[in-house]
Structure 1
Amino acid sequence: MSSKGKAAALSTLLMGLGQLYNRQWLKGLLFLAAGLLGIYFFIFELYDYIWGLITLGETPSGFVKVGKLTKMVEGDHSIFMMIKGLVALLAALLMALYYILNIRDAYIVGAARAEGKRPHTFKQSLVMLEQKHFAYLVLLPPFIAIAFLSVLPLLFSILIAFTNYADPILPPANLVDWVAFDNFSKMINMKVWSKTFGGVLQWTIIWAILATVTTYIGGVLVAILIHQPAIRFKKFWRTVLIIPFAIPNMVSLLVMRNMFNNQFGPINSYLKFFGLKGLPWLTDPFWAKVTVILVNMWMGIPITMILAFGVLSTIPRDLYEAADADGAGAIHKFRYITMPMVLFSTAPLLIMQFAGNINNFNVIYLLTNGEPVNIHYQFAGHTDLLVTWLYKLALNQSQFSFASVIGIFIFMIVATFSIWSYTRTRSYKEEDMIQ
């Protein structure tokens, strides 16, 4: 066996042995210490946590009678065990990555020795590490932070969907068990859940389309109108129309909720003042949906308007002059010049707005709280989106497993649509704006 093969084999057997074989004493001792420490932690700490992730506990908490007294005995907490197991699993994966890097390092140094090169000293290895892999060293801390602060909660929320973690099965009094795809099957096949899921999903898609189209078209049209040469006081109009965007969403939504109140809201008061009948803005299913769309337009149009202003200012005036010379009217210039240019630059934003509207929690929850109540739905109202239904199931009804299932469905819908639509935009394909 060649020297590089021996070094790699020794490092495979135990971390650091290959470095010691390559006569890199300090590096070898550091790898060896890290390897022994990793083995210790895996055997005495990580293994138990990973096993807890598999079993989710064996002994529930409860009262045990000791003589004439009843004593509370603390058992296993399935959710804590799942979290600790995930942390241990990520730690084990990082250890495995470090183990692979140890074998790779021993192999590369062994190959250099086979070519007659002297192995680097520890100081030289540090210098080479800084020169060649500085970017990886800088990215390592945020990578670890993302793994434990972002990836781990995401994995936890996904795994909940494959358990029976829902009222009345709540730890520590009860142990949570793995149920595979049983929750997905109930969501699709059980009538009480499937009817709610189908209805809420249908409204979510309709809401996302209407909310995106109305704000996008409204913002572009307002920007085009203000951009017209004949319009005076452009700064005034821009400032006035940007005010809804400057006000915090929560404040705007709570104010709008009071304005659309059926009994004492000023909007119905104005209608009655002119002899008109007030409308059930927030209590009727149809008008509640109209209300959330109108309020969303009020808050969303300024965002598109700002972006459209930037695009309109970059369109060459020569195009409009050439169109005027050809006798094109305002509609033709808008259709063949303005809109294609604006759409080219803002298509990714349009997709992002659609995905954001699917998860637009603030507008629905703060304005209507998902109401009015739908007696045919399971814990959901007429204006509830999937994300607000998820929130109610998790926070109000303790149906954590079903809430996790809905979260997975939301991710699949948003990810599939976003990837499919974005890869078909002209800005993604980097085509020329003018064919």
Structure 2
Amino acid sequence: MLFALSLLNYSEAYADELKVWHAYRGEERAALEAVLDLYSQQNPETQVTTLAVPYDAFINKIEASIPRGNGPDVFISAHERIGGWVESGLIAPFSPPSKLAEDLHPITLEALQYKSSGYGIPLSYKCLALYVNNDLVSTPPKTTDELLKLKFDDPEVVPLAYQATEPYYHALWMHGANGALFNAQGEPQLNAPENTEGLTFLLELQQSKIIPEEPTSALVSQLFNTNKAAMVINGPWFLGEVSKDLNFSIHPLPTFSKTGTPAQPFLTVEAAFISSQSLNPEQAKSLAVFLASTEASSIRAIQGRQSVATLSTYNDEKVSSDPILSAFKDQLSQTKPLPNQPKMSATWEPMARAIRRVSRGALTPKAALDQAQLEFSILTRPPPQQANTTPYLIIFGALFLGLMAYIGRQIMQHKAKIQEHWSSYLYVAPAAFAMTLLTAIPFIVGAGVSLFAHHNGTFTFVGLANFLDIALARDWSITSSLSFYYTLVVTVFWTISNLVLHVGIGIAMAMLLREPWLKLKGVYRVLLILPWAVPNYITALIWKGMFHRQFGAINAFMEALGLEAISWFSQFSTAFCANLVTNTWLGFPFMMVVTLGALQSIPRELEQAAAIDGATGWQRFWHITLPLLKPALLPAVILGSVWTFNMFNIIYLVSAGEPDSATDILISDAYRWAFSRGSRYGYASAYAVLIFFILLGYSKIGNKIAGRKTL
């Protein structure tokens, strides 16, 4: 009885508990916590708990926790995933009360509409605007014609810098040309004539040298902070990267001259959403409304420096006098809300590929967008039909019983030895448990996912359909850079090329370092092992910068020799070479260290005797040194080939698969299927399973060869 009463009191004490999740950091997080503290003071009967989730993991955590009843009551996130969340049943419909709605900017309310219903309360917004270096530009251009005429006495100064090959940044010209990714009925129109016009304008900017070549976020920041870029197109997140000593201001984007329409960037609205699984929906709605109130919005604007959606907040002199907040408010009326339908996520990669094809001159704008439309249609095709689970359950059940029977038989056969050495098994039990928990179980779960198709947040059992799609090349032709077979060939070529260079250079360096006449061997060994010691992602980013077309050290060196600069990532051969050089730099020290160790066990007398018999240096190496090195080298080669086969960082960070995913390897392609091409987790898992069996077969063959060589 007492236990029941205690449970009753506990449930009553926490009946009004609200869980709020967000991904804010720094000033934004502090401002939100101040607002929530204020709400708690005004509503002492409600306990508010917050959880700050890392930005990169926020969406996955939301989509995984809410269906299982472990998620928040209220969460703050960008609006573009509303369609998918509604279709998955993650969020509840909720629009602001009429009085509050009148005080919210209409375009922020428009962004939260899906199928004629509202979802969430708009809190703040983010969009692109024009950052201007006031020391270089006295009057910002009002039109794109004025932009094209900008010239500077210093040839190193570029008039405008932004990430021109990213669809999010390019969208402002597309909208200025009256284009859109979806028509009024919500149907995709990536190849609309107006979108072609926007892409044509990008070519004009490039050919007029208004923008730098191969722009990246790091390059844009560097150029602006060093007075080498007169203007930058970026969002409020860029403020943290601008030098404090820079004299700059923010202005609305110019008007697209050919249409008379202002260049309109995508608008992202951060809103308070109500979980469909909230135990206290009314209190959650009350909190969401409070977050958008003038009182709370003022705190978020002043303390958190957020561009808030509540218009009355700008009556506060501290907010209205802020030049940054005022500038983004001026841009707000000329924005386009990011489409919030589920298919939107599948547009990013086809559009990015189209922009890059045009940028490097591979296709015309129209042809590139036609190809993007085709790729989009393939990425958004319906998932495979649901399969009958009975045959699979029978097969897996039989395999499981067979495995249990085999294990039981082995235990019975070796029962005496197990009893004799039971203490030894206790010693290895923790390691076996860790291997099972960290390796075996994740592999089994991942392999299981390959039998499912993911669509709109739900998994459907499809059996071997994902494997059949891959094996039969149903989505792409075998020669397409997106097909499994093309990527497999590239991966094998990549692995072999790296192994040849790793082993060749590693042996050469080791042979040189063992020579008695070489001075300062210790210094050379330390220097040569440094590439292996430095984290490979840092090395990859350094080499990426060195291969830059316009500002890279390698092209600068080539131009100093009178050679023509190369656009390294515009064609397969040069992009593959850039990856190869980077990974060779990383990989040869390992082979060098292995070879140096093995050389210590080879008596020099053998080579000296061969030399006396008249053997040349090459003959001594080929017939004496190399055969004696093989027992140590073969396991290292097998290990190195597995590492290289799955060398994700180099491919992802250096060439990024360019051009057109042609330099992607299987592991990076699997990543893109999971996170860049419509969240096809089952398809990506099927890739991973195939990679596992390819490497398992290779390792078995390699071990047999190594075993024979060492006998």
Same fold (TM over 0.5): yes
Shift of 1:428: 5.5
User: 1:23 aligns to what?
Assistant: none
Give distance in 2, aligned partners of 1:344 and 1:139.
Answer: 28
- 8 Å contact 1:220–1:304 — kept in the other structure? yes
What letter corresponds to residue 343 of structure 1 in structure 2?
K
Label 1:202 to 1:267 Cα distance change in 2 as closer, same or farther (>3 A). Answer: same
- 8 Å contact 1:160–1:401 — kept in the other structure? yes
Shift of 1:135: 2.7
User: 2:695 aligns to what?
Assistant: 414
Shift of 1:247: 2.1
User: Given the two structures, how large is their TM-score scaled by the length of structure 1?
Assistant: 0.65
Structure 1: gaps spanning 5 or more residues: 1-59, 75-88, 109-128, 374-380
Give distance in 1, aligned partners of 2:474 and 2:442.
Answer: 31
- 8 Å contact 1:164–1:401 — kept in the other structure? yes
2:686 to 383, 396, 405: 405
Is 1:180 paired with 2:463? yes
1:212-253 deviation line (CA, Å, top 9, x unaligned) = 111111110121123233433333332332222232212111
Between 307-316 and 184-193, report the one with greater CA deviation: 184-193
Q: Which has the higher contact order (CA 8 A, sep 6+)?
A: 1
Label 1:421 to 1:280 Cα distance change in 2 as closer, same or farther (>3 A). Answer: same
Is 1:393 paired with 2:673? yes
Structure 2: gaps spanning 5 or more residues: 1-87, 94-116, 119-273, 278-396
Give the RMSD, CA atoms, in angstroms: 3.3
1:294 to 576, 581, 585: 581
Is 1:170 paired with 2:449? no
Give distance in 2, aligned partners of 1:394 and 1:226.
Answer: 45
Label 1:239 to 1:142 Cα distance change in 2 as closer, same or farther (>3 A). Answer: closer
Is 1:259 paired with 2:546? yes
- 8 Å contact 2:594–2:632 — kept in the other structure? no
Is 1:136 paired with 2:425? yes
- 8 Å contact 1:188–1:194 — kept in the other structure? no
- Report the secondary structure of 2:452's partner residue: coil
Shift of 1:369: 1.6
* Larger helix proportion of the pair: 1
Is 1:147 paired with 2:436? yes
Shift of 1:258: 0.4
Shift of 1:414: 0.6
- 8 Å contact 1:187–1:193 — kept in the other structure? no
Label 1:295 to 1:391 Cα distance change in 2 as closer, same or farther (>3 A). Answer: same
User: Given the two structures, how large is their TM-score scaled by the length of structure 2?
Assistant: 0.41
- 8 Å contact 2:630–2:709 — kept in the other structure? no
1:70-91 deviation line (CA, Å, top 9, x unaligned) = 99866xxxxxxxxxxxxxx9xx
Give distance in 1, aligned partners of 2:275 and 2:585.
Answer: 56
Label 1:391 to 1:63 Cα distance change in 2 as closer, same or farther (>3 A). Answer: closer
- 8 Å contact 2:507–2:591 — kept in the other structure? yes
- 8 Å contact 1:308–1:342 — kept in the other structure? yes
User: 1:357 aligns to what?
Assistant: 644
- Report the secondary structure of 1:314's partner residue: coil
1:41-84 deviation line (CA, Å, top 9, x unaligned) = xxxxxxxxxxxxxxxxxxx858999xxx999866xxxxxxxxxx
1:161 to 436, 441, 450: 450
- Report the secondary structure of 1:253's partner residue: helix
Label 1:347 to 1:132 Cα distance change in 2 as closer, same or farther (>3 A). Answer: closer
User: 1:308 aligns to what?
Assistant: 595
Between 130-139 and 218-227, report the one with greater CA deviation: 130-139
* Larger strand proportion of the pair: 2
Shift of 1:324: 1.6
- 8 Å contact 1:370–1:384 — kept in the other structure? yes
Shift of 1:336: 0.6
User: 2:626 aligns to what?
Assistant: 339
1:326 to 595, 610, 613: 613
Give distance in 2, aligned partners of 1:413 and 1:390.
Answer: 14
Shift of 1:350: 0.6
Determine what percentage of the aligned residue pairs are the same residue.
28
Shift of 1:418: 1.0
What letter corresponds to residue 394 of structure 1 in structure 2?
A
Label 1:314 to 1:413 Cα distance change in 2 as closer, same or farther (>3 A). Answer: same
Is 1:213 paired with 2:496? no
1:12-48 deviation line (CA, Å, top 9, x unaligned) = xxxxxxxxxxxxxxxxxxxxxxxxxxxxxxxxxxxxx
Give distance in 1, aligned partners of 2:92 and 2:596.
Answer: 71
Give distance in 2, aligned partners of 1:341 and 1:325.
Answer: 20
Label 1:295 to 1:352 Cα distance change in 2 as closer, same or farther (>3 A). Answer: same
2:662 to 342, 366, 382: 382
Shift of 1:145: 4.0
- Report the secondary structure of 2:582's partner residue: helix
User: 2:512 aligns to what?
Assistant: 225
Label 1:335 to 1:149 Cα distance change in 2 as closer, same or farther (>3 A). Answer: closer
Label 1:133 to 1:318 Cα distance change in 2 as closer, same or farther (>3 A). Answer: same
Give distance in 2, aligned partners of 1:408 and 1:201.
Answer: 14
Give distance in 2, aligned partners of 1:64 and 1:389.
Answer: 35
Is 1:237 paired with 2:517? no
What letter corresponds to residue 419 of structure 1 in structure 2?
K
Shift of 1:194: 5.3
- 8 Å contact 2:546–2:554 — kept in the other structure? yes
